[in-house]
Amino acid sequence: MNTVSHITPHLSTIQAPTFLAAKPIWLIWRFENSQGEAKPRKVPYYSNGARRSGVQGRLEDRQQLVTFEAARAAAAKRGFSGVGHACLDGDFTVIDFDRCAIDGKLNPVIEAMAANTYAEYSPSGEGIHLYTLGNLRNSNDKSLATADQFGIELFSTKGFVTFTGNALEIVDMMGNTDTVEAPVAELKDLITLRFGNPSEELTAADQPPLGVSREVILEALSVLDPDMGHADWLKVGMAIHHETRGEGFDLWDQWSAGGSKYPGDLTGRWDSFGRNPGKAVTIKSLIQLANSQGARISVNAISMEEFDALAPIDDYVEMSDDIGQLPATTDAPKAEATPSKFRFPVIPWSQFAVQSSWRYIIKGVIPAAGLGVLFGESGSGKSFKMLDMAASIARGHPWRGIRTTQGRVVYIVAEGAAGFRNRLIAYANYHGIDPRTIPLDIIDSTPNLLLKEDALELCKSILASGPRPSLVVIDTFAQAMAGANENASEDMGKALAHCKGMHKALGSMIMLVHHSGKDSSKGARGWSGLRAAADVELEVTRTAFGRALRSTKQKDGADFQEWGFDLNVVPVGIDPDGDQITSCVVVEAAVPVQGSTRKLGKNEQVILNVMSEIGMAQTAGIEVKAVIAMAVAAMPVPEDGKRDTRAQHAKQALRKLYESDDAPYILEDDGTLTIL
C-alpha cells in the first residue's frame, strides 16, 4: 500500500517580499519534541526532506538551499509546518521581537518602527519578525523578555528564522508587503540601548567556524566522558555551539544525556553560549580534548577536494592559456554579474561604476522621494514657510542659495483658502513675478484621506489638469483626514497608505503640513509612526528670539541643518472700506539665538493659550468674538461688587499681540484671525 503524505495546502498562499523570495536561502521546518524540553523546537529541513546539518553557509549547505517559491511548494507537499530561511551573508537583518503582541495588542513602539518596512507575526502570534537592509549588528544578539519589556534577538549572518507571511496590519495599510528598507533611527537607538555600542561587542560571533563536519564532532564526542569536570563539559558545549552556529544542540544534548550528571533541559544554557565578550571557545578546544583521550583528529580547514569538485585542474590551465589569446579591444564579450546566490558576486567595472544619480527637489532639504512632513506649533509660520519652498520649486529658483529642481507643484489648501489667496498675492508682489508663468496650482476643496475614493479622485484631478507634479502639498494633514484619531495607528496608517498610493500614482513627493504635539520636543502631533514613515521631516519653530526651519530627519542626507527666517508684512490690496489688506512673506534671517525680549503680560499669555488651543483645529478664519469669549472664561472671575473688565483686557491683549513687530497672528480684512 502506498504511503500518503499529509499536505498543508494553506502554505501555497503565503507571499514574501521579492528581495527575500528570490534569494536561495529558503528551507522548510516542522515542530519536533525533544526529551526534557517543555516546548517543541522548530527544526529546519532542506526542501528535499533531509534535515539541515553541518556548518551553516558551507558549500554543501548552500547548494541545498532554494528560493521561497520552491520551499513553499515543498513544505505544502510534504506536510511540514512552514517555511523559513537561513541568515548567512549579512545583507539583511531580522529583528525578532518576543512577547510584544499579547492578547492581540501590538506594542506601539514596535508598530511605529515597522511603518516603513516588512514585518510579520511569528508562528505563536505573540512575536514579531521585522526585516531591515544591511547587517544591523553581530548576529545572534539576544535580550530576553521580562515582565516589563519585550525580548529582542537579531539574525543576520547565522541562524534560522521561520517565515509566516502574516504581515502586520500597519504593513498592509502602508503598502509595504513587498518592501525591505534600512532601519529607522528609533530602531537603531533601541538596539544600542539593549546591546550597547557595536564597537563594544566583539564576541565569539566574530570568529568564523573552521568547517568541521558533524561526523568529526561525533567522533570527538565518542571518546569523551560526559561526566567530565563541569568547566570542560561547558567548553564542549560552547565549542559545538560556535562551530555549528548554534544549530548543533542535539549533538551536545544527546552526548550529555549519556552521563550520570545530565541535568535535564539544557536549552537555557545552550542559548547563553556565544554572547559574552572575550576569546571564543572554538572547535579546536573540543578536538584538543578528544585528542588528549586518544583520538587522532586533525582539522583540515582547506579541503582541496572541494576545489576539485568545482573544476578539474586542466580547466584552469586551459583558462589561463585562453587569457593570453583574448583580443585587447572593446569587442570582448560583455561581462555579466554572477548570480546573487553566491556570497561574493562578481560585478563588471562597467556596471559597478555606474551609480544612479541622487534626485532632489531642494538639494539636501527635500528629496525626490515619497513622503515628507513639515510640522510646527500654531503661530510658528509653517504654512508661510511651506509656500515659500513650494514657490521656489515651481519657479526653479534657488531656495536660500540652494539648488532646486524645477517642477510643477500642486498645493492642497485644506483650510483658510481666503488667507492663502492673500499669501499668494503677497509672494508675487514681493518677488515681482507673474503668477501665470509659475506652475503652482491650487486645490481649495478639502479631501478626506481616510477615504480611498478621495485619494483616487485627487490623483485623477491632478493628472487631468497638467503634467505630473514634482511636489504635492497637503496643508494641513489634520484637516485632510476629518474624523481621524491622530493617535491611532489604524487611522493614521490608512491616511498614510493613501498618501503613499498618491505618490505611486503621481510620482510626486507628498508633503504633509502638520501640527506639533502638546510637547513640541517630541515632534509632530499624534501617532509616532508618522516620523518613521516619512523620508524627510522638517520642523518650524518660533521662540521669543525668532523663527527657524530645522531638518530633523533626512533619509539620504544630513539631519539637523537649520535656517532662520522672518515674516515681512506686504500690502496686497484695499478692502471696500478703503482699508489696506496685508499678508506676509518669508524673508531670510539669521538662525535665532537667545537674547532679551519683551515679557508678555498675563492677559497676553491667556490669549496665546487660547489661540494655541484653537490652532489645533484651525489656523484661519478664527472669529475674534470666540477668542475673546474663551479668554474671558479662562481669566479669574472678579470679586463681588467689582466691575467685570475681563473682555476689555482680553481685547487689549489680543490687539497688542497682532499689532506687535513679531505678531503671531494677522487680522484679516474680513475681521477674522489667521495664525502665522
Q: Which of 570, 571, 562, 552 is nearest to 589 (CA)?
A: 562
Which of 231, 245, 251, 254 has the alpha carbon at shortest distance from 203?
245
Residue 614's H or E segment, with its range, is helix 602-615
pLDDT tier at 514 (50, 70, 90 boundaries)? very high
Q: What is the pLDDT of residue 278?
A: 57
Residue at which a domain ends, from 563, 589, 615: 589
- Give me 650's grid cell: 482680553
Q: Residue 623 pairs with which residues in a beta bridge?
A: 672
Instruction: Please check whether residue 241 lies inside any domain of the structure.
Output: yes
Three-state DSSP class for residue 126 = coil
List all residues 6 or more positions away from 148 whose beta carbon is below 8 Å from its beta carbon. Answer: none
- Cβ within 8 Å of residue 490, ≥6 positions away: 169, 173
Whether residue 378 sits in one domain with residue 268: no
- Residue 518: CB atoms within 10 A of its CB come to 10
Q: Are 240 and 284 in contact (CB under 8 A)?
A: no
Residue bearing the bigger pLDDT, 519 or 333: 519
**Averaged pLDDT, 518-523:** 70
Amino acid identity, residue 310? L
- The C-alpha cell that represents 340 in the structure block: 546573487
User: 181 and 273 in one domain?
Assistant: no
pLDDT at 300: 52
Same domain? For 118 and 240 the reply is no
Q: Is the pLDDT of residue 199 over 70?
A: no
Question: Can you give the pLDDT at residue 520?
Answer: 66
Instruction: Tell me, yes or no, whether 49 and 126 share the same domain.
Output: yes
- The answer on 380 and 492 residing in a single domain is yes
Rounded to the nearest angstrom, the gap between the alpha carbon of residue 404 and the centroid of all alpha carbons in its chain is 26
pLDDT at 518: 72
Q: How far is residue 130's CA from residue 180's CA, in Å, rounded to a whole number? A: 9
CA distance 594 to 549: 16
Query: Would residue 105 count as lying in a domain?
Result: yes
448: Cβ contacts below 8 Å, ≥ 6 apart: 454, 480, 481, 482, 483
347 occurs within a structural domain:
no
Q: Looking at the structure, tell me whether residues 223 and 372 fall in a common domain.
A: no
Give the pLDDT confidence of 106-160 residue by residue, as tens digits.
888 888 888 889 999 999 889 999 999 988 875 456 777 677 788 899 998 888 9
Summarize the confidence of residues 32-36 as an average pLDDT.
78
Please write down the long-range contacts of 555-559, taking CB distance under 8 Å and 24 or more positions apart: 555/182, 555/367, 555/369, 556/358, 556/367, 556/369, 557/364, 557/365, 557/367, 558/364
pLDDT digits (tens, 9 = 90+) for 240-287: 988 887 888 889 999 999 999 888 888 888 877 876 655 678 888 899
pLDDT score of 339: 53
* Cα gap 380→543, rounded to integer Å: 8
End-to-end Cα, the chain, rounded Å: 83
617-626 pLDDT, tens digit per residue, is 677 788 888 8
In the chain, the percentage of residues whose pLDDT exceeds 90 is: 37
The reported pLDDT for the residue numbered 320 is 38
Least confident of 50-64, 346-360, 427-441, 522-536: 346-360
pLDDT of residue 220: 92
Do residues 627 and 527 share a domain?
A: no
**Across 168-176, average pLDDT:** 86
Read off the pLDDT of each residue in 403-417 and give the average, rounded to a whole number: 93
Supply the mean pLDDT for the chain. 83
For residues 120 and 128, is the Cβ–Cβ distance under 8 A? yes
Question: Of 534, 568, 589, which residue is a domain's last?
Answer: 589
Q: What is the predicted pLDDT for the residue at 527?
A: 84
* CATH value at residue 413: 3.40.50.300
Which pairing describes strands 371-376 and 536-543: parallel, antiparallel, or unpaired? Answer: parallel
Give the pLDDT confidence score for residue 58 in this predicted structure.
Answer: 76
CATH of the domain at 640: 1.10.10
Q: Is 349 within a domain?
A: no
Q: What is the pLDDT of residue 347?
A: 77
pLDDT at 551: 92
372 and 251 together in one domain: no
**Containing domain of residue 382, as a range?**
360-589
Is 175:309 a contact under the CB 8 Å cutoff? Answer: no
469 lies in the same domain as 576: yes
What is the number of structural domains in the chain? 4
Give the cell for residue 474. 497637503
Q: Is the same domain home to 436 and 511? A: yes
- 83-100 pLDDT tens trace: 999 998 888 999 999 989
45, 160, 214, 274 from 52: Cα distances, Å: 5, 10, 11, 21
* Domain endpoint, select from 198, 230, 264: 198
Name the residue with higher pLDDT: 668 or 580.
580
- Number of CB atoms found within 10 A of residue 106's CB: 19
Helix, strand and coil percent figures for the chain, each rounded to 5: 35, 20, 45
User: 297-302 long-range CB contacts below 8 Å, 24 or more apart?
Assistant: 297/216, 297/219, 297/220, 299/210, 299/212, 301/210, 301/211
Same domain assignment for residues 613 and 585: no
Q: Are residues 71 and 217 in the same domain?
A: no
588, pLDDT greater than 60:
yes
Query: What pLDDT was estimated at residue 280?
Result: 73
> At 513, phi and psi to the nearest 5?
-95, 125
Residue 651 lies in a domain: yes
Omega cis (within 30) before 476: yes
Residue 595 lies in a domain: no
Q: What percent of the chain has pLDDT over 70?
A: 84
To the nearest 10°, report the CA torsion of 67, 73, 79, 82: 40
Flag whether 556 is in a domain: yes
Residue 8 has pLDDT above 50, yes or no: yes
Determine, yes or no, domain membership for 327: no
pLDDT tens-digit series, residues 454-510: 999 999 999 999 999 999 999 989 999 988 888 888 888 889 989 989 998 999 999
